[in-house]
Amino acid sequence: MRVVVTEDAVEVRLALWQKVLGLMRDMSLPRVDVSEVRLVEDPLAETMSSGIKVGLRIPWLYYTARSIRLDRVFIVRRGVPALSFAVANHHPLRHVLVSTPEAAELVRRLGG
């Protein structure tokens, strides 16, 4: 899985196994639709407290999942900080939380 930030978009590119087991596909979101960017040091705690999820779930270790209402995406791993951001104009999606070692740098680049 990779998170790519370009001048125009934020892209989350998943590995094939993440797509299949997580029941989701790659995301490409225009930067103008991304807001409320922040760094999350413990993304598993935030994920586990957010309610029921659909997809690959290994509690306290790894999630590639969506909320039941499909409005939130969680691609998080224990011990890896996450990039968190709100999404506009992509109903039903409203929020993304994705672990990446480059989370702090991506937050800086996105102006969070």
Mean pLDDT calculated for residue range 7-24? 95
Looking at the structure of the chain, the number of domains it has is 1
pLDDT tens by residue, 38-60: 999 999 999 988 888 899 999 88
Is residue 22 helix, strand or coil? Answer: helix
- Would you say 111 and 16 are in contact if contact means Cβ atoms under 8 Å apart? no
Q: Which H or E run includes 52?
A: none
Q: Looking at the DSSP assignment, which residues form a beta bridge with residue 11?
A: 4, 28
Q: What is the pLDDT of residue 63?
A: 95
Quickly state the pLDDT bin for 86 (edges 50, 70, 90): very high
Among 78, 13, 87, 2, residue whose Cα is nearest residue 40: 78
